[in-house]
Amino acid sequence: MSEVREKEVLNVEETGEFLGFAPYTIREKARDGEIPGRKIGGEWRFSRRRLLEWIEEGDREQVRV
């Protein structure tokens, strides 16, 4: 897990480990635009920094509700 924490660009499996979701769920959420990601060469890639920002944005929205 420490290697995943240090990498800036994560693949589907690493993102699943990072967020606690199965790889299938990560692909599905990325395809639906629910999580920030980008398809590069047919493979999904995720910015660790952007994922953290996305989580923080969700936390702020929940506080407003």
pTM of the predicted model, to two decimals? 0.80
Q: Give pLDDT, residue 60.
A: 62
Residue from 12, 1, 3, 10 nearest 52 by CA: 10
pLDDT in tens, 6-63: 789 999 999 999 999 999 999 999 999 999 999 999 999 999 999 999 999 876 665 5
Residue-level length of the chain:
65
Q: What is the pLDDT of residue 4?
A: 57
Question: What is the pLDDT confidence band of residue 65, given thresholds at 50, 70 and 90?
Answer: very low
What pLDDT does 40 receive? 95
